[in-house]
Amino acid sequence: MKLFPNKNIVVKLRNDRATTLNELRQNTKLTDTLISDYTDKGFIGKVDDSGFKIISSGIGHGAVCVFTGELQDSLGTIEIKLNNAFKVKFSILMVMPIIGFGITVLRNGIEESFGILIPMIFGILFIRFVFMELTFRIASTNGLKKLTNITGIKPVNINEVQQQV
């Protein structure tokens, strides 16, 4: 089981690698830091000759996912993972029920605190599998749609890639 969600996607390029990266470069505010900022561009990040590392430019929710892409001639791979700042925020949220349990044990003793153990576990699971997963899925889907519209990439099934090779 992974603590933080991520996705790996194989994509087919509509154009060649240079054209695709040039389109992405034109729609990206080029910077070394992956921090949300007001911009008229679709993405914020780095685009080089073989790939990219970008976040969506939406303030607040755009920085949730980091898109890291490596492109070859007609195919590429995109790894979508949680931004490090959001990993810290979600980790703090997941630790809070444990801290609450610890405080309850110190105040009431271990025997009196067993009743709060199940709600603590459900709280941690809710934060991980509902709150964090839902946030990641929404942000990654929106970012991938924007990336697809700008560059013309198309996610492909792994089976299609294996048949082409």
The tens digit of pLDDT for each residue in 29-64 reads: 888 878 777 888 888 899 998 889 998 887 777 788
| pLDDT single digits (tens) 67-109 | 999 988 888 899 999 999 899 999 999 999 999 999 999 999 8
Domains belonging to the chain, first-starting first, are: 6-84+139-158 (3.30.310), 86-126 (no CATH)
**CA R_g for the chain:** 20
The residues, any chain, with a CB within 8 Å of residue 14's CB and separated by 6 or more, are 20, 151, 152, 153, 154
pLDDT bracket for residue 165 (50, 70, 90): very low
What is the predicted pLDDT for the residue at 68?
A: 94
Can you give the pTM of this predicted structure?
0.84
* Amino acid identity for residue 21 in this structure: L
What is the predicted pLDDT for the residue at 127?
A: 92
* Angle subtended at Cα 48 by Cα 87 and Cα 55, rounded to the nearest 5 degrees: 30
Integer distance in angstroms from the first to the last C-alpha of the chain? Answer: 31
Nearest Cα residue to 95 out of 124, 74, 128? 124
